[in-house]
Structure 1
Amino acid sequence: MADVIADHGHNVTLFQPFHNAMKNTEGLVKNKNIEIINYYPDHFEELETLETQTFPMFWDSHLMNNPILQAFMMPRALAGEFERTAVQLLKDQKTLTNLKNKNFDVMIVETFEITGFYIADLFGIPFIPIMSAARFPCFNDLFGQPSGLGYYPFIDSKLAPKAGFFDRLNDVYRTFFMNIMMDRMAQLQNNFIEKAIGRPVPYWKDLIKQSPIYITNSNPYLDFAVPTTAAIVHVGGITMDLKKMKHVGKLPGEYEPILSERDSTVLISFGSVIRSFQMPDNFKNGLIEMFESLPNVTFIWKYEKEDVEFQKRLPENVNLKKWVPQPALLSDKRVKVFVTHGGLGSTMEVAYSGKPALMVPIFGDQPQNAYMLERHGGAIAYDKFDLKNGEKLSKTIKEMVTNPKYEENSKALLRILSNQPIDPKLNLMKHLEFAMEFPNLRSQVPAINHVGIIAHYYLDVIAFLVLVTSILLYFVFRILRKLPIRIVSKKAKAE
């Protein structure tokens, strides 16, 4: 985003406070005019001594995806990760003064960690919330988007029109606890921010909804069709450059013989947060069974650890790599299928490459990303717990490699994304510049969003109509019950 804005002629400062020691933004910024300020807290050396968190428990834990446990455990864990650096920053008057003196016109803030909104409030400058995922319901609500119930599926639910009663019940159940989780995570941050500043601060929802727009990483031609408002701006795809993707350059020399060994190659990568080498043994055994049953397919597997003993267990059609040039491999015609965890970055890359994908979501927003891509017909959402089922995995990969419909559907989606009416980068810049010119605009959020749930959904009117209808039906029933008695009585008198 910083690159896109700077490329359009704006002065950009990228301020990066470190909550952990993962410097995963290094080298990403290409525009040399962007000023990068890294904020290292006093305990940064301590953070560097900690082992990089990779969350192996997400591989096979049923509990980590339990909505109730997430609602009450996840917020405190994540807010706790943010607190130490955030509190120090808010008390660091020298750093805050230096930032304020730069006289920014606007501050763009990621919504997952909300300290930036309060810094903008301290500076007295407008801010714009952004979300690196496709959606974050508690923030979408603030900008007028109706409930997503029925518009996109949740884990273990089918989407309409196939959805039944229990699917809808599951949607309500998961939505309820997801909203609790998101609200609690923001509220916990609100609490320690107020304590750090030392005086009452605006309630986080009241503060954030002051922005004229909210920017999300959703692409309307890839994502589910969801009713929305003009205040919610979808810019998914700003990281994609179709010209560069068509001319990614030569692959490293080591890959040419690998890709030439067989007619079909499958790329496997589960991202950077979840590591393949930490996969449970029964999952690995399922993959090995699949490798052995498909000897005519070459597999390139991103496996982040040198493991000689594990390598001995693999057949010759498997190539382990600690790192892979993912965009270059996806652009190669010899790669037929991409097996991915379904992170939004990889989802975008595979969608814009026109390549079929087996989506194996592990946690977070990945299940919805998998369903999102699957509905276009070029991908399959695959349950991570079925990785241990080598036979099912083999059949699925074989079907995707040999059935041309997956490639055809993937190419069709690529054509759509390549010809969407408004370029995502242009959409970002037009709305950003508009919001900077009209920072106090609030008219795009429906007025009904300012009322309670009863008035919003006309529950009082519905209850009134149900009550009146029930009373009328009751009196009609009473009248009809008496009519036969009167008719019989009159007939008896006549006789």
Structure 2
Amino acid sequence: MIMKIIIVTLLSLLSYAYAAKLLGIFPHSANSHYTLGEKLMKGFAKAGHDVTIITPYPTKNKPKNVVWKDVFIEGLEQQHREIFKKTNLFEDSKRPSWKRMISYQQIMIHWVNVTLYHPEVRALMNSTNIKFDAVIMEQFFNDAHKYFAHHFHCPLILLSSLGPMPWISNIVGNPSPPSYIGHFFKNGDFSHENFFSRFWNLFDYISDDLVDRFYFKPLQNQILQKAFPGAPSIKEIEKLTAFVFLNSHPSLIEAVPLVPNVVEIGGYHIDPPEQLPKDIQEFLDNAQDGVVYFSMGSNLKSRDMSMERRQMFANVFGKLKEKVLWKFEDEHVAGMPDNVLTKSWLPQKDILAHPNVKLFITHSGFLSTIEAVYNGVPVLAIPVFADQFTNAKNAVRGGYGLKLHFNDENFTETLSALLEELLDNPKYKKNAERNSQIFHNRPLKPMENAVYWLEFVLRTNGAQHLKVAGAQLPLYKYLLLDVLGCILAATVIVICLMRAAFKKIFLFCNGSKKEKVN
């Protein structure tokens, strides 16, 4: 036993002696995005690495015995909330995809700029004695932040919070065939078997690429050049991208091709369940017929629903034999049925782990979807904006959920019917448990996998050997448009020559016949 302790201690000291210095850039204050960044950096810190993180929140519950420094951007979280108050997310899905793309980018530009100019960030960059071995950041409408990797002369590691999105695939040359991979904006309606679905999917890919190429990238370059005159272009800086972590897994999305320097680590943010607050624990424990848990996430607020829609939910919930636990931003909500408990904040991961939770009514945000699959809980998905529609479709495809449109014309009747089906038909629970088994059936836990590949990148000086050539090819070469154009031109030339030859032969033959007749 003593020898084992000595060996573990020596290994820990060895790991610490070779600790890498990591810079995490996660100023996005939306709870779901920041949670992923903070959890990833905490995992790396626990593995023995020194962490500096650019953050909109002072870090709570820092891992013990680690080197951790906050570069705190004060006020950014409140500014984010003020911006989102001006956006009606419940109406978002009614807009064309290109308008949504542009509006998302415009919202994000604010925190991109605030980060680049913040005094604490500038002090970090101007320090002559600070070095980093890798820069780690989320890829989410913030390309100008990639400059940090260039500034500190180190590899860039990207995190995609939404899985294999086009803006990630384009950077590393990851194939995303529109023939069978639905675009982010397809609202979960894509079918690779339907011609028109594939047609409009291709249209979304093309429009997304055009917006990125001719609007977003120039805008980000402009922001970067203004903040750091003489900086390389973002396209040039992106060559420093060594590795990509995807917050996804085949139990959550349809399987897609991945190049060697892209790895899925979906679920790494989930910790073992903790003790619930006493009132919630008793509410769940005493629910003999089970509990329906209802939350629309952190950006969507139940209190922002119309009174009519809220009352529809309450009327349907009141007819259930199950209890309902509803995340509602106002602590005391009048007119709720006796079987409904509302709370302004709820520890979602811990609630979903309780055995009495029979169903999760969710907006279908990706973290909520992951947590439902992790715990084997069926879902009723009510998507509202962004990736939520695709996540809802994947729940239906996986057999562990059903989907309800928030603006359904017969909302009350449809909600009642779907709840009855999900609560009474055991196949949804069975499929949820099957998906959960697939989720957990991995050679390494998600965070262990992330740590392994981080250290692999560091050991191999940026893992250059894992990069595919397609990442650096211009689009016309990647799609072989030059080759196809050459083949087409050659074919046209051959056809023209053959036509001319046949015309001459025809004229020659006609001339010979006329001579014979004469």
The SS at the match of 1:385 is coil
Q: Which runs of 4+ in 1 moved over 4 A?
A: 45-52, 156-161, 180-183, 460-476
Corresponding residue of 1:303: 328
SS in 2 for 1:215: strand
Q: How far off its partner does 1:419 sit?
A: 1.7
The answer as to 2:188 corresponding to 1:196 is no
Between the aligned partners of 2:241 and 2:409, the Cα distance in structure 1 is 44
Which residue is equivalent to 2:269?
239
Provide the C-alpha distance between the structure 2 equivalents of 1:301 and 1:158, rounded to a whole number of angstroms.
Answer: 28
- Correspondence for 2:156: 127
Is the Cα contact below 8 Å between 1:2 and 1:29 reproduced in 2? no
Q: 1:297 to 1:181 in 2, by over 3 A?
A: farther
- Equivalent in the alignment of 1:339: 361
Letter in structure 1 aligned against 2:329: E
* SS of equivalent to 1:108: strand
- Quote how far apart the aligned CAs of 1:37 are: 1.5
Residue 414 of structure 1: how far off its partner (Å): 1.2
1:106 aligns with 2:142: no
Structural mapping, 1:90-101, within 5 Å: 92=122, 94-98=123-127, 101=129
Number of the residue aligned with 1:77: 107
Q: Report the Cα distance in structure 2 between the residues aligned to 1:45 and 1:472, rounded to whole angstroms.
A: 64
- Say whether 1:417 aligns with 2:439: yes
Give unpaired runs (5+ residues) of structure 1. Answer: 487-495
Shift of 1:394: 0.9
With 409-418 and 146-155 compared, the bigger mean Cα shift is at 146-155
Q: Aligned equivalents of 1:177 and 1:102: distance in 2?
A: 41
Kindly indicate whether the alpha-carbon contact (under 8 Å) linking 1:267 and 1:301 is maintained by their aligned counterparts in 2: yes
Secondary structure of 1:209's aligned partner:
helix
- Matched residues in 1 for 2:103 and 2:116: separation? 20
Q: Work out the CA distance in 1 between the residues paired with 2:177 and 2:110.
A: 29
Q: CA deviation at 1:403?
A: 0.6
Please state if 1:252 is matched with 2:278.
yes
String of CA shifts for 1:437-464, please: whole Å, max 9, x gaps: 2234434333244333333223454456
Contact in 2 for aligned 1:275/1:303 (Cα 8 Å): yes
Distance in 2, matches of 1:157 and 1:350, equals 19
Aligned equivalents of 2:389, 2:370: Cα separation in 1? 14
Partner of 2:73: 40
Aligned to 1:11: 50
Per the TM alignment, residue 378 of structure 1 is displaced from its structure 2 partner at its CA by 0.8
Instruction: Return closer, same or farther for 1:29/1:360 CA change in 2, 3 Å cut-off.
Output: farther
**% of aligned pairs identical?**
25
SS at match of 1:224: coil
Which whole-Å deviations, capped at 9, do the CAs of 1:193-229 have from their partners, x for residues lacking one? 21122x2211112212322212221224432211120
Question: Which one of 466, 473, 485 corresponds to residue 451 of structure 1?
Answer: 473
- Three-state SS of the structure 1 residue aligned to 2:359 is strand
Choose the corresponding residue for 1:405, options 404, 421, 427.
Answer: 427
Counterpart of 2:182? 153
Aligned equivalent of 1:366, options 357, 375, 388: 388
Q: Answer yes or no: is the 8 Å Cα contact 1:378–1:406 preserved in 2.
A: yes
What is the identity, as a one-letter code, of the residue corresponding to 1:211?
T
Contact 1:55 1:273 in 2 (8 A): no
Question: Which stretch of the first structure deviates more once superposed, 396-405 or 380-389?
Answer: 380-389
1:27 is matched with which residue?
Answer: 60
Q: CA deviation at 1:145?
A: 0.6
For 1:157-188, what per-residue CA distance to the aligned partner results, in whole angstroms no more than 9, with x for missing partners?
64545x31221122122223333455544442
1:392 aligns with 2:414: yes
TM-score, length of structure 1 as denominator length? 0.82
SS at match of 2:342: strand
1:266 aligns with 2:313: no
Deviation at 1:316, TM superposition (A): 2.2
8 Å CA contact 2:116, 2:145 repeated in 1 = no
Query: Partners of 2:157 and 2:129 in 1: how far apart?
Result: 20
- The 1-side partners of 2:130 and 2:179 are apart by 46
> Aligned-pair distance for 1:360?
1.8
Q: 1:290 aligns with which of 305, 316, 327?
A: 316
Amino acid at match of 1:58: L
Corresponding residue of 1:489: none
Structure-2 separation of matches of 1:454 and 1:361: 36
Secondary structure of the equivalent of 1:213? strand
Per the TM alignment, residue 355 of structure 1 is displaced from its structure 2 partner at its CA by 0.6
Looking at structure 2, the residues matched to 6 and 167 of structure 1 have their Cα atoms a distance apart, in angstroms, of 45
Partner Cα distance (2:480, 2:82) in 1: 52
Distance in 2 (alpha carbons) for counterparts of 1:108 and 1:62: 31
TM-score for the superposition, normalised by structure 2? 0.79
Q: Say if 2:91 is the partner of 1:60.
A: yes
The verdict on how the C-alpha distance between 1:249 and 1:306 changes in structure 2, with shifts beyond 3 A counting, is closer
Cα distance in 1 for residues equivalent to 2:225 and 2:80: 30
Contact 2:187/2:389 (CA < 8 Å) preserved in 1? no
Q: Secondary structure at the match of 2:279?
A: coil
Listed one character per residue, the Cα deviations across residues 65-94 of structure 1 (whole Å, up to 9, x for unaligned) are: 4212124333233213432342345983x3
Offset from partner CA, 1:25-75 (integer Å, 9 cap, x none)? 74364445241323336xx49957975845661113444x42121243332
For these two proteins, the number of residue pairs brought into alignment is: 461
- Is the Cα contact below 8 Å between 1:157 and 1:171 reproduced in 2? no
Distance 1:254 1:230, change over 3 A: closer
Pick aligned residue for 2:457 from 422, 435, 453: 435
Could you tell me which runs of 5 or more consecutive residues in structure 2 were left unpaired when the two chains were aligned.
1-39, 510-518
